[in-house]
């Protein structure tokens, strides 16, 4: 099965109702896509509907069945890329 990273880009306009896109997941998606391309990594990044952790977003996940990452910011991208490299080596 193809490995990928899914990024929740669900948006809710109501500020009392948190959502990953309202917390910057679109920018995370763009930055992650760019950095993975620079590293020439054979993994895709895809937008995802709500992953069920809206209170601690932006959220993303290694797929299939990989690690979740919560409260993702630019500062966490290098860690996520390291984990993705290990994930790619797994069967």
Site residues, ligand FES (CB under 6 A):
8, 10, 19-20, 50-54, 57, 59
Q: How far is the CB of 23 from ligand FES (least distance, A)?
A: 8
Q: Report the residue number, 59 or 69, with the smaller CB distance to ligand FES.
A: 59
The DSSP string of the chain is ---EEEEE------TTS--TGGGTHHHHHHHHHHHHHHTT-S-EEEEES--S-GGG-S-EEEETT--EE-S--GGGHHHHHHHHHHHHH--
Q: How far is the CB of 18 from ligand FES (least distance, A)?
A: 7
Q: How far is the CB of 38 from ligand FES (least distance, A)?
A: 26
């Amino acid at each position: 099965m193809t490995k990928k990273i899914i990024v929740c880009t669900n948006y809710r306009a109501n500020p009392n109702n948190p959502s990953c896109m309202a917390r910057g997941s679109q920018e995370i998606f763009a930055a992650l896509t760019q950095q993975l391309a620079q590293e020439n990594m054979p993994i895709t990044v895809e937008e995802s509907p709500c992953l069920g952790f809206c209170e601690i977003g932006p959220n993303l996940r290694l797929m299939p069945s990989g690690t979740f990452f919560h409260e993702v910011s630019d500062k966490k991208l290098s860690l996520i890329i390291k984990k993705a490299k290990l994930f790619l080596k797994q069967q």
